[in-house]
Copies of this chain bind each other. A is one copy, B any other.
Amino acid sequence: MDQRQRVAGWQPEPAVVEGEGRTPRKRRAILAAATEAFLQHGYLGASMDEVAAKAGVSKQTVYKQFENKERLFAEIVLGTSDQLLDGLTKAYAETLDEAGDAREALRALAHYFLDSLTNPSVLQLRRLVIAEADRFPDVCGAWFTSGFERSLEALGQALTTLTERGLLRELADPSLAAYQFAGLVMYKPMNRAMFAGTEARPPADEFEKLADQATEVFLAAYGLGSPAR
């Protein structure tokens, strides 16, 4: 029902944990409400009154848990980077283990990218971080290095395992190859998604073509033997 639960290992709404004390339960509710508010309206557009109301909590409780608006923002942004990284890393391992050859593996990876990274919540999070990059360079920079960059490093390692299994050429710079693959797959749909608003989602049959074509280009450069085309 909620699409966000299925992808990218990231869920803005915290799961209900039984037997949890009142205080941590409220804290989670505040984080969930604030996440929704920030994603929807941006940092300046979201108000603390709105957060408290959405969390079903008094404003005083919000300020007991979080020093101020900035800290609340930082906590949310930094909290998501680990979750994103974990989800992607796991997906790499699974996708690649199941694959019999490089083409199959890369196609599966491409589809995973396209599905998870065009998810509305993920897009809104990207927008939020990008929008506030100049206002909170430390927080957003940390999100980038510990979330985004590391997930690409993980993809580089995943590609290296393909090389070790004799499915791909030796990669002089696995991290760069990872960025290249991600760029081949995502540059077009990600830009549209970023610029054209959360509502505008691309047709599903475009994903097939993007995944296939990106895979072929990548294999032409890094695959074994002559290109299969």
A residues apposed to B, CB below 8 Å: 40, 42, 44-45, 124, 127, 129-131, 133-135, 137, 140-141, 143-145, 148-149, 152, 173, 176, 179-180, 182-188, 191-192, 194-200, 209-210, 213-214, 216-218, 220-222, 227
- Number of this chain's copies in the assembly equals 2
| Residue of B42, B185, B216, B221 touching A216 (CB-CB under 8 A) | B221
Q: How far is the CA of A210 from the CA of B209 in the complex (A)?
A: 25
Q: Is the CB of A134 within 8 A of B127?
A: yes
Q: Tell me whether chain A's interface is mostly helix, strand or loop, or mixed.
A: helix
Selected from B131, B185, B196, B221, the residue in CB contact (under 8 A) with A42 is B131
| Partner pick for A130 among B184, B195, B210, B214, CB 8 A cutoff | B195
* For the complex of A and B, 3 pairs with smallest distance between CB atoms: A183-B187, A131-B131, A183-B183
Q: How far is the CA of A197 from the CA of B192 in the complex (A)?
A: 21
CA distance A40 to B141 in the complex (A): 18
Contacts of A129 in B (CB 8 A): 195
Set B44, B144, B195, B213: member contacting A176, Cβ < 8 A? B213
| A195, B131: Cβ atoms closer than 8 Å | no
